[in-house]
Amino acid sequence: MFLFILKRLSVGVGLLFIVVTLVFIAVQTVPGDPAMIVLIGSGNTSEITPEALQATREQLGLDQPILVQYVTYLGGLLTGNLGMSFENRQPVTDLIAARLPNTLELIAIVAVVSIAAGIALGAWAAQRRGAVNSGVTFLTSLGISAPVYVLGTVLVFVFAVTLRVLPAGGFTSWADDPVRHLQLLILPVIAVSVGLTAVIARVTRASVNETSQQDWVRTARSWGLQEPVVFRTAVLRNSLTPVATVAALEIGILLGSTVLVERVFSWPGLSTLLVDGVAARDYPVIQGVIIVTAALFIVINILVDVLYGVLDPRARQS
């Protein structure tokens, strides 16, 4: 098991190195002069002279050859230095550290709710079949096809504007007001969870139906085991591998795609920081957010690979 985890970690480090390299190259090819952006962001355009531009380039290290800049950037990453924001001259690490917990909290709650509800709903539909199966199919199709920004707007209109039982959006830290913090989380979690729950439910139902036809399930029934025991030990556990794959991919995608939910509910997360960085052409912020997101995505997939090894020992051997 140790070698299995070590191999996955080595692959993850290699992938992260590739991501860092591609992001650095992409930023270098973007039109525009970062030194000019920094001077414009200072607010005093009268001081934008050739001398000031050259001094700013030297300050940012942009006067160095590309290879030297690349090596310097890698060295900074190894020490946790993601550079300085062009827009507000704050360390990118501090900006990400202030936003990342909010995004991780939202995604973690969405993951727990969606995985639990999706597996339960999919397994129930696979066992019941008939009208229940058709009803679950309809609901999951509706959940997958509903855009998250439309669903979020509808939730705000129903629960905040019409019924006035939940706040429309905003942010309050847990330390300041835990109750208010949880109230502000309810609508964003529902808006994101609906689609993910629908996807996991459909994958679970299909996987359970396929596993139920396997020889070992028929053998377990022939031994006289009760159907709940057979389902729990022989069917459900062996059906979770594809569910884990889909869940990991979807959760990884959520790391960079919660911007619509964060915008609708004014939730200060990592995605809005990325969008603001793109709008301001704040290259260090863009690089930092993409690298952190990629690192989290890789870590999630490594954890899923380890989970494979727990659910199916054959995965470790292969």
Note the pLDDT tens digit of each residue in 37-78.
777 766 555 567 787 778 877 777 777 888 888 888 888 888
Q: In the chain, which residues have pLDDT < 70?
A: 1, 41-47, 256, 309, 311-318
Is 16 in the same domain as 117?
no
- Give the pLDDT confidence score for residue 45 in this predicted structure: 58
Is 68 in the same domain as 105?
no
- CB-based contacts of 294, cutoff 8 Å, min separation 6: 15, 16, 19
- Give the pLDDT confidence score for residue 93 in this predicted structure: 92
Task: Tell me the residue ranges of DSSP E strands in the chain.
Answer: none
**φ and ψ of 37, to 5 deg:** -65, -40
What is the tally of structural domains in the chain? 2
- Give the pLDDT confidence score for residue 44 in this predicted structure: 57
Is 30 in the same domain as 76?
yes
Task: Tell me the residue ranges of DSSP E strands in 55-183.
Answer: none
| 313 within a domain of the structure (yes/no) | no
In tens, the pLDDT along 99-112 reads 999 999 999 999 99
| 160 within a domain of the structure (yes/no) | yes
Is 180 in the same domain as 270?
yes
Is 119 in the same domain as 53?
no
- Give the pLDDT confidence score for residue 318 in this predicted structure: 57
- Give the pLDDT confidence score for residue 33 in this predicted structure: 72
Unique residue bearing structure tokens 């009208």? 131
| 312 within a domain of the structure (yes/no) | no
Q: Would you say the C-alpha torsion 84, 270, 153, 177 has a positive or negative sign? A: negative
Q: How far is CA 187 from CA 129, 144, 162, 167, 269, in A?
A: 31, 17, 14, 8, 15
- Give the pLDDT confidence score for residue 42 in this predicted structure: 61
Closest CA to 208 of 176, 234, 187: 234
| Spatial distance between the Cα atoms of 29 and 124, rounded to a whole number of angstroms | 52
| 200 within a domain of the structure (yes/no) | yes
Is 106 in the same domain as 19?
no
pTM of the shown model: 0.81
- Give the pLDDT confidence score for residue 302 in this predicted structure: 82
- Give the pLDDT confidence score for residue 235 in this predicted structure: 84
| Spatial distance between the Cα atoms of 17 and 7, rounded to a whole number of angstroms | 16
- Give the pLDDT confidence score for residue 185 in this predicted structure: 92
Domain that holds residue 55: 2-85
Is 171 in the same domain as 246?
yes
